[in-house]
Each structure stands twice: as C-alpha cells, then as structure tokens.
Amino acid sequence: MRGNAIHYEATGDYDVIDICQDYQLNFQRGSALKYIVRAGKKDDELQDLYKAKDFIEREIAFVREKRNQEANNIKEGIVSPYNYNYKER
C-alpha cells in the first residue's frame, strides 16, 4: 500500500519499500535507504540524512559484532572455519 504524502511519491511504478523487498534489505539497511531517498521531501533534509547515517552506523555495529563473534567461535574451536558446523562436546 502506497502512502499519499509527498515524501512517499516516487517517479516510477515503485516505491522505496519495493526496492527493499527486491533486495531483501533488513530493517537498518531499508530504513537508511528510505531516509536517503526521501531526504529533503519533508521538513528537514539534514535531519533525514542524519537519520540515514544513524541506521548505517547501527548496521555497521551489528555486522562488526557478528563478524567478531564468528571469529571468536572459530578461534575457540566452537565452529569450523570451513563449514560452520558445531563441534560435538
């Protein structure tokens, strides 16, 4: 369902949510894209860009933590670096 507000209007037969779904973006990535695409179409363009930046920073922190956890699991021998199967204990 498309919204009626001007910041929801797209130039084609699609909306930002269509792109997010097509690329299977998670919440943080989809929200960042949404704020970038709609920046300047509402009250404060700079605020929209800061919101996009916040979502990108949250996603970076998530990916970094996930990568560090996987590296720690491999280092501790909990997970194989080749197939990520758990070792039996």
Q: Kindly report, residue by residue over 44-82, the tens digit of the pLDDT.
A: 999 999 999 999 999 999 999 999 999 988 888 886 656
CA distance 41 to 58: 24
What is the pLDDT, as a whole number, of residue 56? 98
As a whole number, mean pLDDT of residues 24-29 equals 97
What is the pLDDT, as a whole number, of residue 31? 97
Amino acid at 41: K
Contact, 2 vs 15, CB < 8 A? yes
Residue with token string 């910041």: 7
Confidence of residue 32 (pLDDT cuts 50, 70, 90): very high
CA distance 29 to 23: 10
The whole-chain average pLDDT of the chain stands at 84
Contacts of 86 (CB under 8 A, 6+ apart): 78, 79
Residue-range domain boundaries for the chain: 6-75
